[in-house]
Amino acid sequence: MEFRAPTVYYKKNPKARISGVGAVLLVAAVFLTLMDGYEKFALWTFGASILIFFIGVVVTKGDLTNVGVANAIQLAVSTEGIRIGNAYYPMGQINNIEFDIEGYAGMHAPSIAIVGAESDGMGNHLRFEHTGQPVECRFYLGGLQHAQQLGMLFRTFYEQHVPFVERRGLYRTFLLERMSEKELKENLLKF
């Protein structure tokens, strides 16, 4: 079983800073409303912050993110090893494998405070040590089927006793499902 996914990279998006300035001014306007005698200044600051924020949105064409999907650089994980782009790490030289799965694209994201928010699928991390050196890779889960393929890899890892940890933020998971410590131990004993 081999799991493949495009990697996620950090991109420079200096135009997005315009909207960031608008957001900072909005916070400043809120604080100014709390101070006596600054109500008019707070109103002007609020108006300017909204205008600057929307100018930033228009200039960036709505793309305020600083990450993107690198389809050319693939992550491939199997019981034999891990490949990130052209770099290959044999399983015998890897320790402390940890998958931190935020979610797949379109998945309801309870970790985001906005009601109805969905994951963009780009917040997933793979971390491990290769010959004592830390390696980290962000990867993209494009949908439910892609996440199920990752779950099948996890099942293969469990069956072949490949030591690894899967989690969602601070919480441990088992086959992508959040579990208590007791449930986790019970499920791990099955393998």
CA quadruple 114, 115, 119, 125: dihedral sign: positive
Least confident of 13-22, 62-71, 115-124: 62-71
pLDDT in tens, 134-185: 999 999 999 999 999 999 999 999 999 999 999 998 889 999 998 888 888 8
Return the sign of the alpha-carbon dihedral for residues 112, 179, 122, 134. Answer: positive
Q: What angle do CA 65, 177, 184 make, to 5 degrees?
A: 130
Q: Which residue has the higher pLDDT, 1 or 125?
A: 125
pLDDT tens per residue, range 25-83 = 889 888 888 888 888 888 888 888 888 888 887 877 766 666 667 777 899 999 999 99
For residue 101, pLDDT beyond 60: yes
Q: Check if the beta carbon of residue 89 is closer than 8 Å to that of residue 81.
A: yes
Q: What is the pLDDT of residue 82?
A: 97
Tell me the average pLDDT across 20-25.
85
CA distance 178 to 191: 18
- The answer to whether 93 and 131 are in contact (CB under 8 A) is yes
Match 């030591």 to its residue by tokens: 163
Which of 149, 169, 170, 162 lies closest to 188, judged by CA? Answer: 162
Give the DSSP per-residue string, 41-107: HHHHHHHHHHHHHHHHHHHTTT---SEEEEEEEEEEEESSEEEETTEEEEGGGEEEEEEE----TT-
Selection from 11-20, 99-108, 149-158, 172-181 with the highest mean pLDDT: 149-158
Q: What is the pLDDT of residue 66?
A: 62
